[in-house]
Amino acid sequence: MLKRSIALEPDKNPEKFMSMGQLTKKSHKALKYYQKGLELYLQEFKETNDEKRVEGLKSLIAIGYAAVGELYMTTMLW
């Protein structure tokens, strides 16, 4: 379902990319999903004026970068 959702709307809903990053076994593919999700979060962060959403996005972006860091610490990604 996530792959289909990504295929239908590849530039919307960063959560689906973050979920795919968690579910993907190959670390290089997982990294690409996380990077896309983070790209979409950062884009929304730059465009939004809603202070509540900005605070939520800060948290989601931090979690995304932590997930990427875990990939580098636990796999032969480097």
Q: CATH second-level architecture of 2-7+14-74?
A: Up-down Bundle (1.20)
Residue 42 has what pLDDT?
A: 98
Return d(Cα 1, Cα 67) in angstroms, integer: 22
Per-residue pLDDT reduced to its tens digit, 59-76? 999 999 999 999 999 877
Q: How far apart are the first and last CA of the chain?
A: 30
Q: Which of 27, 22, 26 is nearest to 37 (CA)?
A: 22
Per-residue pLDDT reduced to its tens digit, 14-28? 999 999 999 999 989
What tokens does 9 get? 């709307």
- Could you tell me the residue ranges of all domains in the chain? 2-7+14-74
Q: What's the residue count for the chain?
A: 78
Are 11 and 32 a contacting pair, CB within 8 Å? no
Per-residue pLDDT reduced to its tens digit, 35-66? 999 999 999 999 999 999 999 999 999 999 99
pTM here?
Answer: 0.92
Residue 74 has what pLDDT?
A: 87
